[in-house]
Amino acid sequence: MSAMDISNLNIAISNSCNDLKYDELEAKKINFSSTKDIITFFEESNKDFSLLIFENILINELVLSKILSSEHDFSILYSEYYDNVKKFFPLCDYTLGSVRDDFDFGKCMIVNNQKAKQAIKNLSKDISHAGLYDFRLQMSLIGQIKKVSEFYTLYKGDEKDFETSHFAYCDPLNQNYQKEAEKVFTKFLKQTNAYISPINDSIKDFDNIVNSFETRISVIIPVKNRKKTIKDAINSVLSQKTDFKFNVIVVDNFSTDGTTKEIESIKDSRIIHVIPNETTLQIGGCWNLGINNLNCGAFAVQLDSDDVYSNQNVLQKINDTFINEKCGVVIGSYRLTDFELNPLNDFIINHKEYTKENGANNALRVNGFGAPRCFLTPLVRKEQFKNFSYGEDYDICLRLSRQYKVARIFDCIYLCRRWQGNSDANLSAEQITKNNTLKDSFRTSEIKVRKIK
């Protein structure tokens, strides 16, 4: 690619791109993490558009030229791409709910310079880690961020491991970025009237609500075809030491691999074995069966069918947190492990971005809340889960966090297995995009509600 082929473009290349010969492109190397660098670049831009290159890529000049001649009413354009072995990487469409800070724009983007010159006026000047995130949010207020259908990039590098990138926001090494991302996102929410004030009030009549239940805690386990792990999960519950009555509601969603027999082999009156009457239920629908069951206790606590609690005092700790905080939701912290429960990384996924001061807002920026997720049963019965098998928990936590106090447990009380049979293991690029699109739709719905509050 030469400058004359794209004469109407200013070009900025990330200073981490070492293989591109940017001198031949008349490009500038900048630090996209810094708002100072971004502001300077667009203040000095003298063309109609800019091409921002984040990683080592090849550009299809003809396609790029065609796009620039046909697309005018936009703030940012981005495209799906192939890698150097022709593997396709689909990307999500940008929507109102695409506010998470890890939204994937591919390896470059085209920017409308006129709109960028407006956007940089609202950038926070002291951002050195989350500059591009701030810029993108401000650009979304000025014009359309649009995915184009034609491919104009070929990625030359290696893709990051999904598990590593997905949980990057929980890694202590990334905390400086996280603090800045929260700052610029909170500013954005206030600009769009989607910001909500902290909710730290106790639930009205909390003690009477709790005491009206015969059982204090019900652990809800939706399961389908988890013969290898379901007994571990159930026994993890039955081994809990508490000073209150609890049970475990196992919603067995028509398993065909022997899971049902494994459940029935455990002889304990605290197990409530539920088989749905309909075959259309996803995990969210199974949760609704559990929380609406007459045996459900005052607090409904999550446990996935291939996970376990980290010790025998987890339910007691959850109960005590509810009682002390008089809240609607309690969310714990967890560690990723292999099948044998060996840790897969050096940190606990504790979602410390969820604070009493700003947690309900900051939750829109990331892709999760934590685990286990625990609910005051009458509140979650009122809301009900959406019938999905991905993101249904995130969605209901968003809705409840808008209305009720959420308490946190930052100790590791949950072990989340990653193994070959796990539904979150070895996801394809297509499935990752599908999952992210679904969560973006949940955020879109929630932001709309918050704007009219």
122-175: pLDDT as tens digits: 999 999 999 999 999 999 999 999 999 877 667 666 555 545 555 555 565 688
d(CA 297, CA 214): 7
Q: Higher-confidence residue: 122 or 17?
A: 122
Res. 96 pLDDT band, cuts 50 70 90 = very high
Residue 189 has what pLDDT? 98
387 and 285: one domain?
A: yes
The answer to the question of residue 201 being in a domain is: no
Res. 24 pLDDT band, cuts 50 70 90 = low
Res. 4 pLDDT band, cuts 50 70 90 = very low
Residue 2 has what pLDDT? 39
Res. 229 pLDDT band, cuts 50 70 90 = very high
The answer to the question of residue 213 being in a domain is: yes
Residue 1 has what pLDDT? 38
Residue 303 has what pLDDT? 98
d(CA 357, CA 81): 40
Section 101-129 average pLDDT: 96
295 and 224: one domain?
A: yes
270 and 389: one domain?
A: yes
326 has a pLDDT exceeding 90: yes
The answer to the question of residue 71 being in a domain is: yes
Q: Lowest mean pLDDT: which of 143-157, 273-287, 407-421?
A: 143-157
144 and 251: one domain?
A: no
424 has a pLDDT exceeding 50: yes
Which of these three, 160, 189, 222, is where a domain ends?
Answer: 160
216 and 123: one domain?
A: no
Res. 59 pLDDT band, cuts 50 70 90 = confident
Section 93-117 average pLDDT: 96
The answer to the question of residue 186 being in a domain is: no
Res. 5 pLDDT band, cuts 50 70 90 = very low
Q: Are the CB atoms for 70 and 146 separated by under 8 Å? A: no
**Which residues have C-beta within 8 Å of that of residue 412, sequence separation ≥ 6?**
310, 333, 334, 335, 348, 350
354 and 263: one domain?
A: yes
CATH number at residue 101: 3.90.550.10
Range of the domain at 12: 3-160
Section 307-334 average pLDDT: 98
127 and 211: one domain?
A: no
The proportion of the chain whose per-residue pLDDT surpasses 70, expressed as a percent, equals: 91
The answer to the question of residue 175 being in a domain is: no
Section 258-264 average pLDDT: 98
382 and 442: one domain?
A: yes
Residue 3 has what pLDDT? 36
20 and 75: one domain?
A: yes
148 and 244: one domain?
A: no
Section 111-132 average pLDDT: 97
Average pLDDT, the chain: 91
Residue 199: Cβ within 10 Å count: 17
Residue 312 has what pLDDT? 98
Number of domains observed in the structure of the chain: 2
Q: Lowest mean pLDDT: which of 31-35, 68-72, 335-339, 442-446?
A: 68-72
The answer to the question of residue 185 being in a domain is: no
Query: Nearest to residue 326, comparing CAs of 381, 395, 404?
Result: 404
The answer to the question of residue 241 being in a domain is: yes
User: Which residue do the tokens 């022997």 mark?
Assistant: 258
Which of these three, 106, 136, 160, is where a domain ends?
Answer: 160
125 and 241: one domain?
A: no
The answer to the question of residue 249 being in a domain is: yes
Which of these three, 105, 131, 160, is where a domain ends?
Answer: 160
113 and 260: one domain?
A: no
